[in-house]
């Protein structure tokens, strides 16, 4: 059985080329202690997922 826990977050992050992304959710697939992030490109609407640790190393948070 697969159980996913979603935590809604609407924070904005930027890449090194100043592309802005919006975090849609963070979750732990299969109840693992390795959180993942679902996020989208604000300009294009394209959605992505990756491990939270990788996400935080690639992007910088933006002040709202």
CB 58 within 8 A of CB 49: no
Pick from 28, 30, 18: which is nearest to 53 by CA? 28
- Indicate if the alpha-carbon torsion angle 64, 52, 6, 47 is positive or negative: positive
- Residue 51's pLDDT is 95
- Residue 64's pLDDT is 64
- Residue 33's pLDDT is 87
**Structural domains of the chain in order of their starting residue, each with its CATH number:** 6-61 (2.30.30)
Local confidence band at 8 (pLDDT 50, 70, 90 cut-offs): very low
The tens digit of pLDDT for each residue in 13-52 reads 999 999 999 999 999 988 778 899 999 999 999 999 999 9
Alpha-helical regions (H) of 1-64: 52-58
């Amino acid at each position: 059985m697969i159980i996913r826990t979603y935590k809604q977050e609407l924070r904005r992050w930027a890449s090194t080329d100043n592309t802005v992304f919006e975090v849609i959710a963070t979750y732990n697939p299969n109840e693992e202690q390795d959180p993942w992030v679902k996020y989208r490109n604000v300009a294009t609407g394209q959605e992505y997922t990756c491990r939270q640790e990788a996400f935080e190393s690639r992007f910088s948070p933006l002040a709202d």
